[in-house]
Amino acid sequence: MKLSIVIPVFNEEESIAETIDRIDQVLSREKIEHEIFVVNDNSTDGSLEVLKGLAKKYPSLIFETNHGPNGFGYAVRYGLERFSGDCVAVMMGDLSDSPEDLLHFYVTMKEKNVDCVFGDRWTKESSVINYPFKKRVLNRVANRLVRFVMNIKYNDTTNAFKLYKRHVIAGVKPILSPHFNLTIELPLKAIIRGFSYTIVPNSWVNRKHGESKLNINEMGSRYFFILMYCLIEKFFSKGDFKKKW
């Protein structure tokens, strides 16, 4: 089962080389066929030049530039339209997500034969290092709201780090979110539309370089819009989008 990893990148020249080095090292060690698909989201720093150099070192690396419109959601969607694997993970370019966790996701998907593997950073087995306090409070409030509104048990919907089989990505279209609200749109649609999933703990480490691209003050209404969109589909679509196979 070929694994694709979609990594959206905007101004990550200090982090992206280590991220790709570690992902390729772990997957090559386990002899897992893989593709690292980096979407350069019109970076204004030296990210593109770094990627050009890395492509000479790693045959598994593919990178393309999303010339616009730009934003986290647009960049991820660009990659999800073009990846070649049998399954695809979304990971961040700042190495906040662990390649060892990616390996665990992949093995779990194969062993349990599920359509999706969702990471949870907030279990007793998880590890979270240097998560900003304000962001942590808002994260926990937002995820509890999602759990309550959608009546689900998953405790970390806003976690971008997830693994999907190819037919799930086809099955959750059309994908609407242009920003970080994509992180809740994909799993909620997958759950609503009847795809199987399992939840596993994963670690998270705050970036060593640069600044987070998530603007909390701008995202509240966008998350709420997608949550309401998914809620309406759940109760009023009468199963029109539900998995039929």
pLDDT at 245: 55
pLDDT at 134: 85
pLDDT at 244: 64
pLDDT grade for 209, boundaries at 50, 70 and 90: low
Lowest mean pLDDT among 30-34, 54-58, 137-141: 137-141
The share of the chain scoring above pLDDT 70, in percent, equals 95
User: pLDDT of 164-208, one tens digit each?
Assistant: 999 999 999 999 999 999 999 999 999 999 999 999 999 999 877
In a domain, 243, yes or no: no
**End-to-end alpha carbon distance in the chain:** 20
CB under 8 Å to 88, separation ≥6 — which residues? 3, 4, 5, 6, 79, 80, 163, 164, 166, 169
**Once rounded to an integer, what is the mean pLDDT over residues 24-35?**
97
pLDDT grade for 237, boundaries at 50, 70 and 90: confident
In a domain, 51, yes or no: yes
Residue range(s) defining the domain that contains residue 192: 3-236
In a domain, 242, yes or no: no
**Among residues 166, 202, 209, 200, which one has the least CA distance to residue 35?**
166
* pLDDT of 215 over the 80 cut: no
In a domain, 158, yes or no: yes
pTM: 0.91
CATH of the domain at 100: 3.90.550.10
Residue 61 CA to residue 52 CA, distance in Å, equals 10
**Once rounded to an integer, what is the mean pLDDT over residues 111-125?**
95
Residue 77 CA to residue 129 CA, distance in Å, equals 28
pLDDT grade for 39, boundaries at 50, 70 and 90: very high
pLDDT grade for 210, boundaries at 50, 70 and 90: low
pLDDT at 217: 56
In a domain, 244, yes or no: no
* Average pLDDT over the chain, rounded to an integer: 92
Split into its structural domains, the chain has a count of: 1
What is the tally of helices (H) and strands (E) in the chain? 8, 9
Question: Which residues make beta-bridge pairs with 4?
Answer: 35, 88
In a domain, 163, yes or no: yes
